[in-house]
Structure 1
Amino acid sequence: MSQLIITPLKHISRFMGISPNLDIAFQYLAQLKLPDVVPTKEPVDLSDGVKVNVFDYQPSQTNPGSQLEGHQKWMDIHLVASGAEQMAVGSADAVKQTVDYEADKDIAFYEGQPEAVVNLYPGDVLVTFPEDFHQPGIKANDLPVRKVLIKVKVDF
C-alpha cells in the first residue's frame, strides 16, 4: 500500500515535522498564492535537499499504470497551480520494472496495476515517498497544467 500524502494546499502545515527537508518544502508551499505562480527557467534550490521547478505542460498520457516512476533518494511533491491532471499511484507488489534505475537521475520506470488514479485540481498537493510508484501527466481534460514540482531529498 502506498504511503503518499494527498491534501489541499491550505492543510499542508499539518504534515510539518516528518523531516527537515519536507518542512522546508511545506513552508515554501504554505506561502504560495496560486494566481501568482509563474514558471521557472530552471529548478531553484530552496536548500541542499529541496529543489522547486514550476512549469506548464499538456498532460497526454491516457493509460494509467503504463509508465509509473519510482525514486530512491528523492521524494516528489506535486502541486497543481492551474488546470487538472490525473496521477496513477501504486506499490511495489503491483508493478514490474521496465527501465533500470538511473542513479544520476534517481529514477526507474515500471508498469502495472495502479492502486488508484487520483484527480488533481488547482490547490491539490500530492507527496510521493520512495516506496510510492506514481505516474503523473495523465490527461484529465484538454486544458494545460501549471505545476509546481518540488524534489525533496530523503532525510529521515
Structure 2
Amino acid sequence: MIVDTLANADKYTSIHPLFAKAFKYIKSQNLAELEIGKTDIAEGLKAIVSDKAGMPAADSIAKFECHNKNIDIQLCIRGNETIGWKPRSTCASQRGEYNPEKDVVFYNDAPDMYFNLTDNQFAIFFPEDVHAPMIAVNDQPIKKLVMKVQI
C-alpha cells in the first residue's frame, strides 16, 4: 500500500506500465467537475467516480475487500475519507469465494489500522492489500476517483 498526495504522483509512475497513464489522466481532469460514473481510459485502465455519503466503519468493514487482477488507485477529490487496511497475508477468515467477474474477494477480518485521506490525497492498493474504504463521520459526503489498473 502507498499513501501520498497528487503532488508526488510522478514518484510512482514506474511501478506499473499503466500508472503513468493513470496519473496523467488524473492530472488532466478538473476533478471538482468530474461526472459520476465509469470511463475506460485505455486497455486495462478504468476510472470510476463516485460522490456519495460515507458510511459507518461497521458497514465498510462488512465489505472488507481486495482484488486479484487489479490495483486500485483511490483518490479523495473532496471530503475526509477514512480507510481500514490489513495485509492479505494475515487475514484468516475469507468470506465466500473469489468473484472473478467483479475481481473481488471479501474477508471477515478486521483492519489492523485506519488512515485518512482528504482532498488530493490517494492510496494505492495492490492485491495484497485488504481495504475498507468510504468510512466517514455522520454520513459526510466523499467525492472520489478510483483508477482500476489491470495487472
Q: Work out whether the TM-score is over 0.5.
A: yes
Q: Any idea what SS the aligned residue of 2:57 has? A: coil
Aligned to 2:47: 52
Deviations 1:105-145 (A, max 9, x none): 10010022322111111111011001110011212444211
Q: What is the rounded CA distance, in whole Å, between the counterparts of 1:56 and 1:95 in structure 2?
A: 32
Aligned 8 A contact 1:85 1:120 in 2: yes
How many pairs does the alignment contain?
Answer: 149
Tell me what 1:23 maps to: 20
1:62 aligns with 2:57: yes
Identity %: 29
Letter paired with 2:78 = S
Counterpart in 1 of 2:116?
119
Q: 2:150 aligns with which of 136, 147, 153?
A: 153
RMSD: 1.7
Structure ranking higher in helix proportion: 2
**Structure 1-normalised TM-score?**
0.86
After superposition, the Cα gap between the structure-2 partners of 1:59 and 1:150, relative to the gap in structure 1 and judged at 3 Å, is same
- Normalising by structure 2, report the TM-score: 0.89
Structure 2: which 5+ residue stretches go unaligned? none
In the TM superposition, residue 95 of structure 1 has moved relative to its aligned partner by: 4.1
Which runs of 5 or more residues in structure 1 are unaligned?
Answer: none
Q: Which residue in the other structure is 2:71 paired with? A: 75
Separation in structure 2 between the aligned mates of residue 80 and residue 105 of structure 1, nearest angstrom: 22
- Secondary structure, aligned partner of 1:23: helix
